[in-house]
Amino acid sequence: MADETSAETSAETSEQALPAPIIHITRDPLDGEAIRALEQAVTTAGAGGIVTFAGVVRDNARGKRVRALEYDAYPEMAESEMARIAAEVAQRWPESALAMVHRIGPLAIGECSVVVVAACPHRAEAFEACRYAIDALKASVPIWKKEIYEDGQEWVEG
């Protein structure tokens, strides 16, 4: 996470154009290298605050020991819903750049399932935009999660 530090200048906005939102459903690992690449892709010279949310597979849920997760998605609609959310973010925070990537398929404990990166001129809007995007993703993007336990498995909400 970087904080805003601006070079001394009289310009009020950056000269560099904002990148288009990055939206993907992927089966590839969202490892440190992939996350860094997303951060770099949305970071422009005018970005002073970059907030990254990474959702990671936990080993327990509702008092149960979780062995692994499996995610499924309706990929075409998931990406169009994510694009709709990105458009809302762009409207609310016009100087923001956003990446939202969700992994599907089998995931092990500790692996990253979702990454949202918001890059903005200042930290406050970067936190807000990132929070808004991940909350909206959870509320409307057609992605599903199956928890795999020692003694069974179940598609779960939330």
Applying CB under 8 A, which residues contact other proteins? 55, 71-74, 76-78, 80, 102, 113-114, 134, 137-146, 155-158
For other proteins, which is the closer residue by CB, 74 or 127?
74
Q: How far is the CB of 102 from other proteins (least distance, A)?
A: 6
Q: Is the dihedral of CA 78, 84, 89, 94 positive or negative?
A: positive
For other proteins, which is the closer residue by CB, 28 or 76?
76
* Cβ-based neighbours of 58, under 8 Å, separated by 6 or more: 66, 109
For other proteins, which is the closer residue by CB, 26 or 140?
140
Count of CA atoms in the C-beta half-sphere (13 A) of 9: 10
Q: How far is the CB of 55 from other proteins (least distance, A)?
A: 5
106, β-bridge pairs? 70
For other proteins, which is the closer residue by CB, 48 or 145?
145
Q: Which two tokens stand for residue 137?
A: 């993703």
